[in-house]
Amino acid sequence: MQSAIGNRQSAILLITLLAGLATAGEAPPPGFPDVRGIVRARAKSVVKIETTEHFLPGLFRRTVRLANPFPLRSIIGDALSFTFFLPSAVLGRLRKHVGSGVIVEADGHVLTNHHVIRDADEITVRCTDADGRKRRLKGRVVGKDKLIDAALVKAEPGKARLVTAPLGDSDQLEIGDWVVAIGQPLNLTGTVTVGIVSGRHRQLDANNIEDYLQIDAAVNPGNSGGPVFDAAGRVVGLVTLGIFPANDLGFAVPTALIRPWLDDLKTHGRPRRSYLGITVEDITPYLAEERDLDADDGVLVTRVRLLSPAGKVGFRRGDIIVSVGGKPVEDARDFQMRILRARPGTVLPITVRRDGEPLTLRPTLSRRRRPFRIF
């Protein structure tokens, strides 16, 4: 009898504590994801991508890149690419590569990395259809985006019923959230690894578009292009890079960098991003003191290109950006991403502080020019 009363009191105490937490607005921490359920639902959407590079086209591409001096920072990489390609001239006429991908549309559209399909003369997509049958499909590149290392491949499913995976919102991820990676590391098909988001907003190539997720789920060569799922089984990223020899430190292209331009990849072959024509940097206390600014945080305009959309509406060096489209700007990174995600032709109100007074400018964003390069 005493035991039953004690158990009842303990239950009442536990319920009271939980109610107190709910009243305080504190949600319980998320539990471990249902990895088995995610694998059952999504594994068939993950594909193996095999690319074949023919010798003569490959040799031509590498020779042209090596002879082309733009951009200068690629010379070493182009030289190594040329050198390592030469053994194929002696050992054979074909060069094969393997990566991963994820089916995002039932008609056969597959997301993967740009570096997986780069230089591919033939593409084969290996997958398992909804009926459990192994399929070997012919693929072709319909769109690619080198700056964020993403590409869209169209496989020809024929009568096969393909399994797709939904795209999630990577902007909702927080450090510590669970993620599941599925891919073909070291040519081992359907490998599943689990980890957490260990970092956000990582830049590896120092361009202003990269915004990678850092994950500690183990990734290895062959995982490239494979999906990263959140706890709800939605694709929130594509594995793009692992750091050798630390195979538990990887990076993924977030869906927030892919989703806005997915239609562009399908219809135009590349993303159509916006261009404003200014250079900005974060205001730090040191910078504010050095330049005698009337703010110790925010985003400072450091350069305005004369004939750019910004130059045409009167942006000036020294303007402090306050908001974009009526929403406050957090930092320079936030400002750059808002411009890039807006559509070309959009009239975007941007409020700046000039000489202590607010001023709203309304530039019409133009289309971002492609960088000059050959292949």
Give the mean model confidence (pLDDT) for residues 82-109: 77
Which runs of E-coded beta strand occur in the chain? 46-54, 94-103, 109-112, 122-128, 134-145, 150-155, 178-183, 191-202, 212-215, 227-229, 235-243, 246-254, 274-275, 278-282, 299-304, 320-324, 327-328, 350-354, 357-361, 366-367
- Residue 334 located in a structural domain: yes
Q: Are residues 63 and 173 in the same domain?
A: yes
Q: How confident is the model at residue 121 (pLDDT cuts 50, 70, 90)?
A: confident
Separation CA 229–CA 250 (nearest Å): 14
Separation CA 226–CA 75 (nearest Å): 29
Q: Are residues 232 and 246 in the same domain?
A: yes
- Residue 103 located in a structural domain: yes
Of 284, 227, 283, 235, which is closest to residue 259 (Cα–Cα)?
A: 235
pLDDT for the residue numbered 52 = 86
Domain boundary among 241, 271, 301: 271
370 Cβ neighbours under 8 A, 6+ residues apart: 270
Write out the catalytic residue numbers: 115, 149, 224
- Residue 28 located in a structural domain: no
Q: How confident is the model at residue 291 (pLDDT cuts 50, 70, 90)?
A: confident
- Residue 2 located in a structural domain: no
The pLDDT > 70 percentage for the chain reads 77
Q: Residue 197: beta bridge partners?
A: 215
Alpha helices (H) in 93-139, listed in sequence order = 114-117
Please give the DSSP secondary-structure letter assigned to residue 171: G
Domain boundary among 271, 301, 318: 271
Q: Are residues 133 and 157 in the same domain?
A: yes
Of 353, 356, 351, 368, which is closest to residue 305 (Cα–Cα)?
A: 368
Give the mean model confidence (pLDDT) for residues 245-256: 82
Separation CA 87–CA 65 (nearest Å): 18
Global pTM?
A: 0.77
Burial of 315 (0-12, 13-18, 19+ CB in 10 A): buried
pLDDT for the residue numbered 298 = 78
Mean pLDDT over each residue of the chain, to the nearest integer: 83
pLDDT for the residue numbered 349 = 95
pLDDT for the residue numbered 16 = 46
SS3 state of residue 110: strand
Q: How confident is the model at residue 285 (pLDDT cuts 50, 70, 90)?
A: confident
Is the predicted pLDDT of residue 68 greater than 90, yes or no? no
Lowest mean pLDDT among 63-67, 216-220, 283-287, 309-313: 63-67
Q: How confident is the model at residue 15 (pLDDT cuts 50, 70, 90)?
A: very low
Number of domains in the chain: 2
SS3 state of residue 267: helix
| Domain CATH number, residue 340 | 2.30.42.10
For the beta carbon of residue 371, count every other beta carbon within 10 angstroms: 10
Q: Give the pLDDT confidence of 320-374 residue by residue, as tens digits.
A: 999 999 899 988 888 988 898 888 999 999 999 998 889 999 999 998 876 544 4
Give me the DSSP letters along 285-344: HHHHHHTT-S-SSSEEEEEE-TTSHHHHHT--TT-EEEEETTEE--SHHHHHHHHHHSPT
- CB contact at 8 A, 280 and 301: yes
Is the predicted pLDDT of residue 235 greater than 80, yes or no? yes
Is the predicted pLDDT of residue 59 greater than 60, yes or no? yes
Please give the DSSP secondary-structure letter assigned to residue 259: G
Give me the DSSP letters along 46-75: EEEEEEEEEHHHHHHHHHHHHH---SGGGH
Structural domain harbouring 296: 274-367
